[in-house]
Every structure is written in C-alpha cells, then in structure tokens.
Structure 1
Amino acid sequence: MVLVADDDPGSLLVAKAAVERSGHDCLTAGNGDEAWAMYLEHQPDVVVTDWMMPGLDGLALCRAIRARAADLYTYIVLLTSQGSRNDVLAGLEAGADDYVTKPLDPFVLHARLLVARRVTTLHADLAHYRKVLSQQARTDPLTGLNNRLKLNEDLEQLHARSQRYQEEYCLAMCDVDNFKSYNDIYGHQAGDLALRAVGAVLAKAARSSDGVYRYGGEEFLLVLPKQSQQGAKDMLKRALHAVRTLDIIHSGAPTGHLTISAGISAFTPGLHAEADSVLGEADAALYAAKSAGRNRVELAPERRG
C-alpha cells in the first residue's frame, strides 16, 4: 500500500494515478497532519510526500515516521520542486529514502516504486528472520519449551505486574527423580527422550496463561499467574500422576519407574520485593520434597499452614 500526501489537488491526482498504474493500492492525504493520521491507521509500505504542506511538512512527516519504532520498514519518497543539493540532503537526513522533483513524471515515480518494493520486501524478510532467531534464542532445543532467557523476561514482567496490581502468583520447581542414575543405566539418548516426555506432560498440565520452562538439566519451572498455592499444588499432583502413568521404567529408582518431585512457592504482595526470593523459596521446597523421599509435592516451608 502507498500513501501519497500533497496539498496540490492536481499533483495528488497525477501521483495517485501513477501509483495505481504501478499495481499498488493508494491512499491520499491533502496535508501533513492528515497523512500522519492515515499512516498510523494503515501502516503503508511506501509514503510519497510533498515537501511543502500545511500542518506537518514533508520533512516533519519523515522524522515522525522514522521516530516511530516499527517492525516493518516504510520507504519514503519526497516530492519537491526544490532540487538543490542542500534540499536533497536535508530530505535524506530527515529520513527520506529518495526524492522526485516536480512536476511529477509518472515514469520516474514508477521506477522509484519498483526500488521501494525491493527494499520493503528485504526489510520484511529481515524482520521475519529476526523474529525466528529471537524465538530460537528463547526456546530449549531439546524439549521445545521456553528456556532460562525467556523465563527471566517473563518472570520479571509478571512480578512487576503482580506487585502493581496486588495479585498472587506461584512458582513450581520440578525435578526428575534419580535422573543421573537413569542416564547411567539407560544412556543419554534415553535420558533426552525422558526429558522430552516429562516436558510434554508439564506443558499439557499447565493452563494457557501459565509458562513452562526448562530450567536446566533435569529441572523444569512452571510460572503460574493468578494461581493460589492450593491450586498450584493440585495441578502439580495431577502432573506427577501423569508422569507416573508414562510408565517409563527406571530400575535405579525405588518405585521402579521414572517420577518427578516439585516444590511450590507463592508470591505474596508486600512481602517479596524481588522475584528471585520467590524462586529461591520454590527451590527450597523442591529440596524438601527430595529430602522427604521424592515423588511428591511440597510447599515452601514459610507458606505452610
């Protein structure tokens, strides 16, 4: 889509016709303020703008567009009857990609739009690849769950929001019981398969609003917004049962099957200044579950009762 801004009705019609003959949808604006409003609403791929206009002039419009953070790039062509070198440089420094002198030659504008299509397509591809790389950087390659980087980002946001709105949340630290001996007996390939299976169980047990992360090694963390401690405990008990029903044989475990343990902590508004303290309590609760014989859920000691 191309947005053309010009306060001269004749020039606007010529530009609109040239844009449409080039195969683009065209929006038109009769001044800079109208052009800015239409830009914000429609996010066009290309803006063709006159230099001298009421309201925002062409340079101000260029600067406004460039100052706005956006995933996709807008290609800007400046229309000007002022073709001096200083004017051209001023336009490019303001954020324009190219310029066309008036009176407008439709062929010249068509050529500029061909260049614009190549540039905007390239930027769209780059934006897509950046998004893919960002997702990969935040995903554990073994289990497909979120990783520690994503956890740090999500937990920081959740903690700040929960403090602001005085909302509770819970963290559940989970660990595969006797995993070292499982790897020793069955090999690391089997261990990887077991971790994938456990991760899938935890992801299935979680609500759509919950976050499930591979914390490291055989540890997983569940982030449970607006969840009570008892609600978290009930959910983790179901998850532990689901892991047992996987029926993964583990001759080195007392139960003869692969199991997990979990420790749960709860954020209390006004008590926990940092998310790390909630995380530390979940880790302590997990240690208590391990010490109590594994294959169980424990609440953080200071939250019992």
Structure 2
Amino acid sequence: MDDDPGSLMVAKAVVEHAGYECLSAADGDTAWELFQLHQPEVVVTDWVMPGMNGLELCESIRRVAEDSYTYLVLLTSFGSQDDVLAGMEAGADDYVTKPLDPFTLRTRLLVARRVTALHAQLGKYRQELTRQARTDPLTHLDNRLKLTEDLDLLHGRSQRYGGRYSLALCDVDYFKSFNDLQGHPAGDDALKLVAKTLAALARDTDGVYRFGGEEFLLILPDQGAADAEVAVERIRSGIESLGIVHVGNPREVLTISAGISTFTADHPVSSGRLLKEADDALYSAKAAGRNRVVSFVRAG
C-alpha cells in the first residue's frame, strides 16, 4: 500500500519476484478493504497515505486479527526513534525507510515468512489445547466446561426468541457394583461404550456431554417434554440392548436411568434450575426402579 506509484511498482515487483501473490492499493481505505477481504499474511504499507494512514491501518489490523497473524511492515520517510516507536506501538512488526531498497524488503519478507509460519503453528497448538480442555479424556465426549458454554448460549437464545429445549440427565444404574464386581478397567470400557451409543443415537443437533462419573447429560434443542421423552427412551433402550453383562443389576445387563427437564416460554427458569429439575427427575426414575425415563413434573 503506497500512494507513490514508483515506490508501489518497486515493492510489487520485489514481492512477486520472491514468489508471493501480491495485492496493491494506493490509499489506506482501499488497503483496509483488501485486508478484510483477503486476510493476507504480510502487509507492507506506507506511513502517509490518503484516507486511513499507515498507523491507523496497523491499529485496525491488530484489532481484528485474532485467529491468524499478519506481519506488518511500515514504510516511512521518517527516521526518528519516536516515529519508529510510534509505528511499533501501532502494531507494526518492522519498518523500512524510504526510498525503498529491494534487497531490504526481500529480507523483511523472509523474516515475515518465518514469523507467520510460527504463529500458524502456535495457532494449531492453541486450537488443540482448547479442544482438549473441553473434551473428556476417557469417553472423548464434551466435558462440563463445554456444556456450560453451550448451555449458556442456547439458554440465552431461547430466552430472547421464545424457544424451547430439554435437558436429559442420564446415570448408569448400579455402576458402583459394576466396578466392584468387574473391576475399574471394565467399568471404563463400559462408560466408553455407553458414551459412543449416546452420541450415535442422539440427533446431530443434540449435545452429548460427560457430566461426571457415570453421569451423562444431553441437550436437546427445540424439543419439548414429549419429544424429549421419545428421544431419550430410544437411547435408554439402545443402551439396554447392548447387552453389557452386569450381574449387580437385577436385569443382569447394564442399563441407564434418565431425568428430563424442559425450558419453555411458560416455564422460563434459569439453566441452573433446569439442571436441578433434571436431577430431581433422575432421582424419581431411580426411586421408581431404575432403567426408565422420567420427566420433571412441576408442583401445582
């Protein structure tokens, strides 16, 4: 980006000769539009330009570039230390004084390549760490941190637009005796199989989470109580049909119990209250003999 045609021509020739694709602009406003459209890895910009100047362009790029890193080189006729510091504080990574020297610009591009490659690699690591922080290591389902994020988002949207959704809290029946009788490795294998079945039988739009221990939670967007009961009953039946031997269970196979709660415009409780209602319904399912699905019933 440079309003001097000669300087712009030299810079463009250097960039293209180095094997890069080059986009050019003669003013700051056009440069900003090009950046937003193409998200380039490197920006070489003059300091003084019509419209948005080089400092403002650097500041704007730094404000919006969150998921990737753009290396910023500021071209300037000013050589004072204060000017250099002002450019760096605005977000520039390096500066080149004018008139532009092709060799100097080429070296800056080599540095830029290394820096942007490093940031790209760090970005991948950050994404993986973010994923791991939200994933249960045993079952590979989403964990309670991801549940909190997803539930807050869905709850807020349902409040604003009058939507509905259901929660289903599921618990493996007599799981302590399963571990006692068959050992913790077998218990871990059983939990992994239950998790896999929950994910397979849920809809693509549903959320499936390990809630803790032998408990799992389902978020069922846009489903009222009746639809949620049908969906969770299908899952309960699917778990039972796995036929996982459980001699500590009266049915001699592993089963689950589930409690359902539903958010509606007529029942606009908090997400925390909704979780408590699902837990109360689960308690009722266990008290009624386990291996069943119970929906929370409001008093009155």
1:79 and 2:108 equivalent? no
User: Is the contact made by 2:2 and 2:49 (CA closer than 8 Å) also made in structure 1?
Assistant: yes
Deviation at 1:273, TM superposition (A): 3.8
- 111, 118, 124: which is aligned to 2:107? 111
- Paired residue for 1:262? 258
1:38 and 2:68 equivalent? no
- Paired residue for 2:196? 200
Runs (4+) off by over 3 Å = none
Deviation at 1:231, TM superposition (A): 1.1
1:184 and 2:219 equivalent? no
- 50, 62, 65: which is aligned to 2:61? 65
Trace 1:131-280 onto structure 2 (pairs within 5 A): 131-269=127-265, 271-280=267-276
User: Is the contact made by 2:258 and 2:281 (CA closer than 8 Å) also made in structure 1?
Assistant: yes
The farther-off stretch of 87-96 and 290-299 is: 87-96
User: Is the contact made by 1:266 and 1:303 (CA closer than 8 Å) also made in structure 2?
Assistant: no
- Paired residue for 1:97? 93
Which amino acid in 1 is paired with 2:246? Answer: H
User: Is the contact made by 2:263 and 2:269 (CA closer than 8 Å) also made in structure 1?
Assistant: no
User: Is the contact made by 1:173 and 1:286 (CA closer than 8 Å) also made in structure 2?
Assistant: yes
- Paired residue for 2:51? 55
1:51-90 per-residue CA deviation (whole Å, 9 max, x = no partner) reads: 1100001111111111224211111000111112221111
1:15 and 2:11 equivalent? yes
TM-score by length of 2: 0.98
Q: In the comparison of the two structures, how many residue pairs are matched?
A: 300
5+ residue gaps in structure 2? Answer: none
The residue matched to 2:24 in structure 1 has which SS? strand
User: CA RMSD for the aligned pairs?
Assistant: 1.2
1:273-302 per-residue CA deviation (whole Å, 9 max, x = no partner) reads: 410011111000000000000000001022
The farther-off stretch of 187-196 and 79-88 is: 79-88
Deviation at 1:303, TM superposition (A): 8.5
- Paired residue for 1:295? 291
Q: Determine the C-alpha separation between the residues in 2 that align with 1:67 and 1:203.
A: 38
CA 1:262–1:273: 2 relative to 1, 3 Å: closer
Which amino acid in 2 is paired with 1:115? Answer: V
Which amino acid in 2 is paired with 1:18? Answer: V
Q: Determine the C-alpha separation between the residues in 2 that align with 1:270 and 1:159.
A: 14
Which amino acid in 1 is paired with 2:165? Answer: Y
Deviation at 1:215, TM superposition (A): 0.2
User: Is the contact made by 2:47 and 2:53 (CA closer than 8 Å) also made in structure 1?
Assistant: yes
Deviation at 1:270, TM superposition (A): 5.3
Q: Determine the C-alpha separation between the residues in 2 that align with 1:126 and 1:303.
A: 53
The residue matched to 1:91 in structure 2 has which SS? helix
Q: Determine the C-alpha separation between the residues in 1 that align with 2:163 and 2:65.
A: 31
Which amino acid in 2 is paired with 1:9? Answer: P
The residue matched to 1:172 in structure 2 has which SS? strand
Q: Determine the C-alpha separation between the residues in 2 that align with 1:40 and 1:273.
A: 41
CA 1:227–1:200: 2 relative to 1, 3 Å: same
Q: Determine the C-alpha separation between the residues in 1 that align with 2:269 and 2:152.
A: 12
